[in-house]
Amino acid sequence: MEFWGFPRTDGTAGTRNLIGVIVSAACANDPGAWIADAVDDARLFTHKQVCGLIPPDKEVVERTLANLGKNPNLYGVLIVGPDCADSDPDGIAHMIAQTGKPVDVCKIHAEGGVMVAVQRGIDSVRRMASDASRIRREPCPISKLRHGVECGGSTPLSGAVTNAAQGHALDNVIRHGGNGGFSETPEVIGAEHIIAERAIDEEVKRKMLKVVRDFEQWLKSSGIDFLRANPDAQNVEDGISSIEEKALGAIHKGGTTPLTEVVDYAVIPEGRGMWFMNTPGNDMMSVTGLAAGGCNIITYSTEGASPYGFP
């Protein structure tokens, strides 16, 4: 079984052939947008994180940006950012360059100001886009397909229909040698033991139970009454009765194959079968984590939520 993909030098394959414009710090979001808007095949990745980050937040932000850049759907990447002590565009670029793809850095201060930097960035992205256009799709084995699965606002039909359909698709990808997984840790509270029972060994089982337990403790320490906040008002209006019912529907998107791995947010899994990523219960944050995890295709059931596409 094969899919039509774009082969990459590191042995992966993309389902898209785009140029990523990744902003290293939020103060460069506008210049990054101006660069990406000037080139048809460029895609912009902004965020709201700025200076003053300390561990572990700094590591999570930089890992997420670097692993987004490593995604095989991007042929090349331009990092746009300031040239100051708290920003590390060179470090992010170095991590992405380990994949062998072309990477460039545009540091606004060093270039001589915003407009000079923007023009230099546009020139760089155009060169990458021209090189990328020479690559043609070719048959690639399903083993190079990584399927991320996400769901929107839950309804009583989630487990039986939309998530079940996504889970069936994930099973099919894994059965033919690919891999993939799902996320949203607070959404599986009350059903985590069912996922854990599918673990390939005791270590994976322990990790699955631990990420949920840790999330519950974090929620309690924040003072949030999670069991009154989830399911949310929209879920209740649509007919969801409890967090347990919501969780039983959520886990259906993980299909039926064994759980092989549990990873932290935006970490790239080793690529063995079905895995789980520890993310918040926010759709956009979770999809970002899946993309940073190397997913070259993501399915998303919108249901009671607004439709959301990832760049």
**pLDDT tens, residue by residue, 174-231:** 999 999 999 999 989 999 999 999 999 999 999 999 999 999 888 888 887 666 666 6
Please tell me which residue, 155 or 181, carries the higher pLDDT value. Answer: 181
Alpha helix stretches (DSSP H) within the chain: 29-37, 57-70, 89-97, 108-111, 114-132, 163-175, 192-196, 202-221, 226-229, 233-238, 243-250, 283-292
CA dihedral 230, 234, 235, 240 (to 10 degrees): 120
> How high is the pLDDT of residue 283?
87
> How high is the pLDDT of residue 155?
75
**pLDDT tens, residue by residue, 123-143:** 999 999 999 999 999 999 999
DSSP string covering 77-142, please?
A: EEEEE--STT--HHHHHHHHHTTS--EEEEEHHHHTSHHHHHHHHHHHHHHHHHHHTT---EEEEG
**pLDDT tens, residue by residue, 95-119:** 999 999 999 999 999 999 999 999 9
What span, in angstroms and rounded, lies between the C-alpha atoms of 36 and 165?
35
- Written as one letter, the residue type at 40 is D
pTM for this entry: 0.93
What span, in angstroms and rounded, lies between the C-alpha atoms of 56 and 48?
16
Strand pairing class (103-107; 74-81): parallel
List the domains of the chain with CATH numbers. 2-132 (3.40.50), 145-301 (no CATH)
What span, in angstroms and rounded, lies between the C-alpha atoms of 70 and 101?
8
What span, in angstroms and rounded, lies between the C-alpha atoms of 310 and 291?
8
Nearest alpha-carbon partner for 189 in 213, 205, 169, 217 = 213
What span, in angstroms and rounded, lies between the C-alpha atoms of 110 and 14?
33
Please tell me which residue, 35 or 49, carries the higher pLDDT value. Answer: 35
